Structure 1
Amino acid sequence: MYITLLSGGSGKRLWPLSNDARSKQFLKVLEDEQGQLCSMVQRVYGQLGTVGLSDATIIATSKSQVEILHNQLGTDVPLIVEPTRRDTFPAIALAAVYLHSVKNVPLDEVISILPVDPYVEDSFFLKLIQLEAIIRETKADLALIGVKPTHPSSNYGYIIPNIKNSVTDNYISVEKFVEKPTEEKAKKLIDQSALWNCGVFAFRLDYIIAKVKALGLPIQYEELLERFLEFPKISFDYAVVEKAENIVALPYDGEWKDLGTWDTLTEEMSTTQIGKGIISDGNQKVHLINELDIPIAVLGSSNLVVAASPDGILVSDKESSSKIKEFVTAFDNRPMYEERRWGWYRILDYTKFEEGIETLTKRICIKKGKNLSYQQHYQRSEVWTVIRGCGEFVLNEKLFQVKPGDVLQIPIASKHAIRGITDLEIIEVQHGSQLIEEDIIRLETDWNSIIDMCKVFKI
């Protein structure tokens, strides 16, 4: 069996920590077995490793999440990168074609699809192994995992069993789905033995490959990438699940949560405070998450979440926090914090002057042994000031060692790169007419290849 994790989303429901560059699955607010802060994707990938499934796992994602996935999981995790976002059916179809034409996975192999961010026990992933056996036993088009509800909720979809055709206690035959009913309707569905739909599907590889062929699209990975825009922009639910004739589901009665709001996420945090600040005595059910370098004090409050990042500050009653997406859609600012394969950066200041000149100031951290790509810009110059650590700096094929206090001038069109010998922090000031990502021309990313280009070594 092979597993495809779906990593997508723009993360507005956990603003201000989540943004278009850092979706909710990348927020390091949970705790691992060593007591270190970890993200949802790190937790899930670690659990797959615990049950022996990580080697059979690939991640389907968008271009915007590649760098942060490399940062949090390492560069050895196989990624299927969508050329553009087209919803879940094209993403799953692309992953299936990759497994078929690149990995040479047999067409009768069972493939499981699951979100990258469920909060579950390790036993949940053992259910994935059972899906393979159920698919082969029942010859079903799809096999799902359904969670036994602990309470009537309007936040989840429901799997409705076909009682007449359910011939075993191990699985149910699915009659239909109901998406996010009212709590009153949810109570009635639970009385009918309905299950929460947790977004986990399994199928034989040939089932999806046939659907790609039916659209007139190629089943060779590189060819499909070129024609990816020909996919309809449609979810897997609408394109596949609603049209499947034979669906079964495995009931799961362990812990399962969708940590999609501050209310549900803070329930699973092991600490009430992350970052600088103080929560005074007497506060009840208050969580403070602060990514800023300034302290925050919370006094005389209850049932409150206070979250602060370079993108903004949220102060909300926990039950009302689920409504945040309605309000922040009006904010059209660029992400002020991003994680990359080499480390992270935080925007400190941005100014646009009347004459059309812009300045952008960043604080950049490059991890030990990592490097920025060898690149050049035609719309801006840069000044880098080293504030911590030591490293190697390349400018127009000349190599220099750098240390705290060094100021590095990078004129327009100059080729440049930097590597951390230790963890390295710099303040970068950009100055130019257009401070945009498209003005980055990457010439090389491998540091050894960059060094091979260098002519002079200066201490």
Structure 2
Amino acid sequence: MKLILLSGGSGKRLWPLSNNSRSKQFLKVLTSPEKKLESMVQRIRRQLEKTQLLDIAYISTNKTQMDIIRSQIGNQVPLIIEPEQRDTFPAIILAATYLYSVIGVSLNEVMTVMPVDPFVEEQFFDRVAYLEDVIKHSGMDIALIGVTPTYPATKYGYIMLNNNEKEHDLETTYHSVREFKEKPTEEQAEQFIEQKALWNCGVFAFRLGYIIKQLKEKGLPTKYDEMIQLYESLPKISFDYEIVEKAEKIAVVPYNGYWKDLGTWNTLTEEIQSSVIGRGTLSDTCTNTHLINELNMPVTVIGASNMIVATSPDGILVSDKSKSHQIKELVKDDKKRPMYEERRWGWYRVLDYKESTDGMNVLTKRLCVFAGQNISYQYHHKRSEVWVIVKGEGEFVLDDEKFYVKSGDVLNIPVGSKHGIKAIEDIEFIEVQMGSELEEEDIVRLFMSWGEMKKSLGCE
């Protein structure tokens, strides 16, 4: 079996902590067994390792999330990169062509797909592994996991069973599926539950050959390189609508354990162990209130009930938890650049941005490069930079000449000058950009690897 973890999302429902580059699965607000803060993607990586599924896992993501994934979970899980964010159907067929034409996976191999961010117990992954047996021995085209509902939810899809059919016994029970119902009213949901319907949690399994056959029938390429070329023309549609609901033989494996979609502040804070994360205080008169503060300033909350207070460089949210889902609509048109990002080498935070009428704009950042990591050897067409080292030490290369730098050094980088830095110990610096266009896209990367750069330049 090959396991594909889908990592996408624009991050609007958990604003201001999440944004287009740091969506919900990357927020470090959960608590690990070692009592350290961890993100959803770090949690699922730990669970997959414990259940011995990590070695068969791949993450399907878009290029804006590559750095933060590498920063949080390292290089052990291979990435399948989407040229742009679309929907689950394009993402899954791209992954299928990668397995088929790049890795050379057999058409008889079972491909299982699931979100990267479910909040589940480890026994859930026993059900994930069991899907392989269902596909191999049941004669079904697709097998899903269906969660036993705990209340008449209106935000989930429902899987309706063939209740007149006997349960099938493999090593455990699975059912055949009659139909799907999407996001019903509460009254309809209650009726579905009475009919023993299950929540659709977005976990699918099928033979690789099944999806490759679907691609051929649709006139789509089966080679990864060709799929990449036409990716932007693929329909923005879910895998459920395009494939699953049109399949003839579908099995569902019931899961009666704990499962939760932590997609809003209301549901997320139910799983956060500490009521205060970051610098701040809740008074004794606060009830069911959470404060998450990413700013370097104190926040005090007094007499608040059922509230979420979240602060980050991107903004401040103060909301009733039950109404917090409305934030997605309120910020949907916000096109501002993220003010904080995690990268493969560390992180940066935007401190100030000034647009000038004379065309000379100024952007100020604070960056941290972790020990042993490096920023790529690069140059810019439209900006100069000044770096002030405020902490740590490292190697700095400017126009092919290497320097040792430490706290207190000031580095001037003219427009077009090649430059990069590697941290000997964690190094922090203030970066002041000046130019007509101050965009992340104005980066020409010459070398990503520090070793390759030094070997090429002869400055080892």
Q: Is the 8 A contact 1:398 1:455 kept in 2?
A: no
Counterpart pick for 2:419 among 416, 420, 430: 416
| Corresponding residue number in structure 1 for 2:29 | 29
| Corresponding residue number in structure 2 for 1:50 | 50
| Corresponding residue number in structure 1 for 2:386 | 383
Q: Is the 8 A contact 1:111 1:205 kept in 2?
A: yes
What is the alpha-carbon distance in structure 2 between the residues aligned to residue 213 and residue 243 of structure 1?
Answer: 16
Q: Deviations over 1:128-157 (max 9, x none)?
A: 111111112221111000000111111211
Consecutive unaligned residues in structure 2, runs of 5 or more: none
| Corresponding residue number in structure 2 for 1:399 | 402
| Corresponding residue number in structure 2 for 1:139 | 139
Pairwise CA distance, 1:125? 0.6
What is the alpha-carbon distance in structure 2 between the residues aligned to residue 34 and residue 155 of structure 1?
Answer: 33
1:52–1:455 distance in 2 versus 1, CA, 3 Å = closer
Provide the secondary structure at the position in 2 that maps to 1:101.
helix
Percent of aligned positions with the same letter in both sequences?
Answer: 56
TM-score, normalization by structure 1? 0.97
What is the alpha-carbon distance in structure 1 between the residues aligned to residue 325 and residue 226 of structure 2?
Answer: 41
Q: Is the 8 A contact 1:399 1:454 kept in 2?
A: no
- What pairs with 1:103-122 in structure 2 (closer than 5 Å)? 103-122=103-122
1:97–1:363 distance in 2 versus 1, CA, 3 Å = same
What is the alpha-carbon distance in structure 2 between the residues aligned to residue 301 and residue 25 of structure 1?
Answer: 27
Q: Is the 8 A contact 1:399 1:455 kept in 2?
A: no
Provide the secondary structure at the position in 2 that maps to 1:438.
coil
- What pairs with 1:276-425 in structure 2 (closer than 5 Å)? 276-425=279-428
What is the alpha-carbon distance in structure 1 between the residues aligned to residue 234 and residue 334 of structure 2?
Answer: 30
Q: Is the 8 A contact 1:166 1:173 kept in 2?
A: no
Pairwise CA distance, 1:71? 0.7
What is the alpha-carbon distance in structure 2 between the residues aligned to residue 235 and residue 152 of structure 1?
Answer: 23
Pairwise CA distance, 1:167? 3.2
Instruction: Report which stretch shifted further, 345-354 or 93-102.
Output: 93-102
Q: Does 1:445 align with 2:438?
A: no
What is the alpha-carbon distance in structure 1 between the residues aligned to residue 88 and residue 16 of structure 2?
Answer: 25
What is the alpha-carbon distance in structure 2 between the residues aligned to residue 242 and residue 146 of structure 1?
Answer: 15
Pairwise CA distance, 1:453? 4.4
Q: Is the 8 A contact 1:397 1:453 kept in 2?
A: no
Counterpart pick for 2:434 among 431, 439, 443: 431
Give the aligned residue type for 1:221.
Answer: Y
Provide the secondary structure at the position in 1 that maps to 2:374.
coil
Pairwise CA distance, 1:222? 2.2
Q: Is the 8 A contact 1:392 1:402 kept in 2?
A: yes
What is the alpha-carbon distance in structure 2 between the residues aligned to residue 187 and residue 43 of structure 1?
Answer: 32
- What pairs with 1:174-323 in structure 2 (closer than 5 Å)? 174-323=177-326
Provide the secondary structure at the position in 2 that maps to 1:171.
strand
Q: Deviations over 1:86-111 (max 9, x none)?
A: 31111111111111122221111111
What is the alpha-carbon distance in structure 1 between the residues aligned to residue 302 and residue 445 of structure 2?
Answer: 49
Pairwise CA distance, 1:209? 0.6
Give the aligned residue type for 1:277.
Answer: G
What is the alpha-carbon distance in structure 1 between the residues aligned to residue 281 and residue 383 of structure 2?
Answer: 41
Pairwise CA distance, 1:227? 3.0
Give the aligned residue type for 2:455.
Answer: D
| Corresponding residue number in structure 1 for 2:127 | 127
Give the aligned residue type for 1:127.
Answer: R
Provide the secondary structure at the position in 2 that maps to 1:93.
helix
List structure 1 runs of 4+ shifted beyond 6 angstroms: none
Pairwise CA distance, 1:308? 0.2
Provide the secondary structure at the position in 2 that maps to 1:405.
coil
Pairwise CA distance, 1:164? 1.7
1:156–1:393 distance in 2 versus 1, CA, 3 Å = same
What is the alpha-carbon distance in structure 1 between the residues aligned to residue 273 and residue 101 of structure 2?
Answer: 44
Q: Deviations over 1:265-323 (max 9, x none)?
A: 00001111110011111211110000000110000111111000000000011101111
Aligned residues: 457
What is the alpha-carbon distance in structure 1 between the residues aligned to residue 176 and residue 458 of structure 2?
Answer: 69
1:211–1:307 distance in 2 versus 1, CA, 3 Å = same
Provide the secondary structure at the position in 2 that maps to 1:437.
coil
Q: Deviations over 1:369-393 (max 9, x none)?
A: 0000000011010000011111110
Pairwise CA distance, 1:217? 2.8
Provide the secondary structure at the position in 2 that maps to 1:114.
strand
